[in-house]
Amino acid sequence: MLTVFASVVCLMMMAGPAVAMPEGDPAPEGAASAATPELPRVRPYDARSAALLLQGLERSDTIRALVDRLDGRDVIVYVEMNPSLVRRKLAGTLTWQAHGGLFRYVRISLNPELTTALLIATIGHELQHAVEVAEAPDITDPASLQAHYARHGIATRGHQNGWDTIAAQQVGELVRRQLGNERTSRALETLEGFDPEEWHIVYRQARDRFAARRDRQFD
């Protein structure tokens, strides 16, 4: 769901994630220096978000495809847990952060009280919104984000300035079905000792492991 507070908001229990327009939260410290071509575009900002993203990459072909579509684009996506979404009864949001240099910055916020499966599905939903932003070069600030979703999105009832898209709803449901087909997950609920500055190393190692595992399955 998208809210005019520069963010994409996701409704509780996956009833309809949304896009929201942000009030101008700053991009994470050091964001500009971290925006180099070889670094992953999707970057968790805390240990639980990192573990959830790793699970999503391992268990969902859709999440892997979305992350692949974002890599190499000009949008940096930060992912974090946000307790304020509990009170707002939202599963997740995508909010606009900044536009600096060659890059645009958005933030995915997640409701920490949701189950692991719902959180991963919410990540998928919000990553679809991030792809929508990446594929719309005219989105450069909260006003243009609002204008884009006013043209292409669906207004959400019960959440002021909230928007969603059919594509994001479909992605969230698809990820949920993919998770349901998995009997086990080897990923952790949290990543002990996680350092956001080291995410590019963790990410590349994980992608290599997943690729090697798939290759063995086809041998």
CA distances from 161 to 3, 9, 21, 138, 164 (A): 4, 10, 7, 20, 10
Rounded CA gap, 124 and 176, in Å?
A: 9
CA pair distance 65, 50, nearest whole angstrom: 17
Instruction: Return d(Cα 53, Cα 109) in angstroms, integer.
Output: 13
Helices of type H across the chain = 31-34, 47-59, 61-70, 84-88, 116-134, 142-152, 166-180, 199-217
Which pLDDT belongs to residue 177? 94
Low-confidence residues in the chain, pLDDT < 70: 1-37, 157-161, 181-189, 217-219
- Supply the pLDDT for residue 55: 93
Q: Give just the sign of the alpha carbon dihedral 5, 139, 172, 42.
A: negative
**CA gap 50, 46 in Å, rounded:** 6
Looking at the whole model, is its pTM more than 0.85?
A: no
Give the pLDDT of residue 25: 45
Q: Are 94 and 108 in contact (CB under 8 A)?
A: yes
Name 156's Cβ contacts closer than 8 Å, sequence gap at least 6: 1, 2, 9, 11, 16, 18, 162, 163, 164
Task: Give the per-residue pLDDT at 161.
Answer: 66
pLDDT at 67: 97
Q: What is the largest CA-CA distance in the chain?
A: 52
Backbone dihedral region of 51: left (phi > 0), alpha (psi from -120 to 50 degrees) or beta? alpha
What pLDDT score does 155 carry?
82
pLDDT at residue 10, as a whole number: 46
**pLDDT on residue 5:** 34
Residue ranges covered by each domain of the chain: 2-27+36-217
Please say whether the dihedral angle defined by the alpha carbons of residues 66, 71, 73 and 77, taken in this order, is positive or negative. positive
Close Cβ partners of 193 (under 8 Å, ≥ 6 residues apart): 47
Q: What are phi and psi of 6, to 5 degrees?
A: 60, 50
CA distance 16 to 180: 19
pLDDT score recorded for residue 84: 94
